[in-house]
Amino acid sequence: MRKRNNKRDMKKSDRRKTRWGRIFLSFLLSVMILYLLYFLIIIFSIKTSDIIKESNSCNHILSGEINRLDKTVIILEKGKGEERKIVDVYVYLSNSDKKNELLIYIPSSLYYAGLEEKFGNEIPVSSFRYAGDFLENGRGVEYAIWQINQLLGFKSEKYIYFSGEASEALGLDISSPNRENIVALNKKTGFFEFVKNLKEISKLDGTIYSNIRFSDIKLKVQNIVRTPNNYNREELNLGDAFFHNKGKLVTGEEINVLNTIAFDQKLRGFLEKITDRELENERVRVEVYNGSELVGAASGLGRKIVNTCCDVVRYGNAPDLIDKTKIYISDLEKYPKSYQAVSEVFPTKYELVEGRPDFMTTGDIIIILGDDIRDMYIF
C-alpha cells in the first residue's frame, strides 16, 4: 500500500515539475519574443539623414542610377565639435552584371591639391568637413562628399557618412587611419553587438548621413568586408607611395599629396572590368572644348568623363566664347547610355543639339563649355 502511495506522490511531483518547467519555458520564450520585438522596433526606428537631398544639391554632388555600376562612398569620422576629423574613406564600386567590384581606400592623412586659392595650402582629407563648414557653416558634410568626388574624378551614387556621434554610439575605436577600420565597423554593426548594446545603438538615430536606409547600410559594409559570392575584387589603396607626390606646408612640414595622374592611370585600368556592358558596347568618342574664360575647364571636365567610363579623344579651346554650355550628339538613339553618362557630369542645365558644331570635329559627342560651367562648382 505504501509503495502505491509513494508512486502516486512521485507522479504528482513529476507532473508539478513538468508544469512549472513549461511555465518557466513559456515565460522565457515570451521574454525573448518581447525583447526581439523591442530590438526590431529600435533598429527600424533608426533613421538616416539625407543632408544632400535636404539642401537640394543632389545634382551637383551625386550621380543617378544610370546602369548596373553601383558607386558608394563610406566615410568614418571621429570626435565632436572642433575636434571632428574624417579618419577613413572607402569607395565601393560594384557591377552585378559582370560580378566585378573595385574597392578604393583613402586614408585621411592624404592631402589633395587644387584648394590653395581658398585655403592657402593643400588640405588633408581629414579636414574636408571642417573646410566645408568654414566656407559655408552647416554644409561641411556635403562639402566633404563633393570634394571626395572631385578627388576621385567621378560622382558617387550613394553615400554613407558615420559622424563622430555615430562612431561613439557604436563604440568604434578609430583613432588613426587604417584600412582595417571597416572590419571593426562591420563587427560593431553585427546582430550580437546590436543586441548587447541596444541602449547605445538607439543613439544612432539621425547621426548617420546617408541617402539609403539604415537596414541597407549594414549590407554595404558587409559587402566591403566580405566579397559577395562569385565576385572578383580589385583594390586601390591610396595610402601606397605610388599614388603620392611629396609636398610641403607653409610651416615646412612634409606631406603626401595625391598624384591624380597616377591614380587615374590605375583606375582606368580597372574601369573596363566594372563598366556597364551596354555603355561599353557603344564605344563612344567624346570631344571637349572650352568656350569659357575658366582656364583648364576642358581638361578638368574631360577627366570626369573618362572616369565615368567614356573615351575622350580630344581637348581644346572653342573658336568662340559662349555663355551657355552645349552638348552636340550625332545620333542620340545610337549612344543613349553614353549620353546619359556624360550628362550626369553636368549638374547645371545645358543646350542639347542633335548634329555637329560649325567647326571641324570627328567625335560622336561634342561638348562646348560655356561661361555657366562655373556653376558646377557649388563651393
Instruction: Please give the chain's pLDDT, 379 residues, in tens.
Output: 554 555 555 555 555 556 666 777 777 787 677 656 756 666 677 899 999 999 888 888 998 876 678 999 999 999 998 899 999 999 999 998 899 999 999 999 999 998 877 888 899 999 999 999 999 999 999 999 999 999 999 999 999 999 999 999 999 989 899 999 999 999 988 777 777 777 777 889 899 999 999 889 988 999 899 887 789 999 999 999 999 999 998 888 999 999 999 999 999 999 888 888 899 899 999 999 999 999 888 998 999 999 988 999 999 999 999 999 999 999 999 999 999 999 988 877 899 999 999 999 999 999 999 999 888 778 7
Among residues 143, 137, 175, 135, the alpha carbon closest in space to that of 159 is found at 143
Cα separation, 274 vs 155, in Å, equals 15
Among residues 221, 204, 157, the alpha carbon closest in space to that of 47 is found at 204
Instruction: Looking at the chain, list the stretches that DSSP marks H as alpha helix, in order from N- to C-terminal side.
Output: 2-45, 51-54, 58-61, 116-119, 128-135, 140-152, 164-170, 181-188, 191-196, 198-201, 214-225, 260-274, 277-282, 297-306, 336-345
Cα separation, 316 vs 243, in Å, equals 27
Cell of 220: 554595404
Residue 6 is predicted with a pLDDT of: 54
Cell of 315: 581637348
Helix/strand/coil percent split, the chain, to 5: 45, 20, 30
Cα separation, 367 vs 351, in Å, equals 10
- Note whether 73 and 89 are within 8 A (CB): yes
Among residues 321, 322, 330, the alpha carbon closest in space to that of 364 is found at 330
Residue 108 is predicted with a pLDDT of: 96
How are strands ordered across the β-sheet holding 365-369? 311-317, 285-290, 365-369, 326-329, 351-354
Residues in the chain: 379
Cα separation, 372 vs 346, in Å, equals 11
Q: What is the pTM of this model?
A: 0.88
Residue 325 is predicted with a pLDDT of: 95
Cα separation, 368 vs 319, in Å, equals 10
Cell of 235: 583594390
Among residues 155, 137, 134, 133, the alpha carbon closest in space to that of 145 is found at 155
Residue 26 is predicted with a pLDDT of: 77
Count of alpha carbons within 13 angstroms of residue 194, beta-carbon side: 19
Residue 77 is predicted with a pLDDT of: 97
- Note whether 167 and 77 are within 8 A (CB): yes
How are strands ordered across the β-sheet holding 244-248? 123-124, 111-112, 254-258, 244-248
Residue 5 is predicted with a pLDDT of: 52
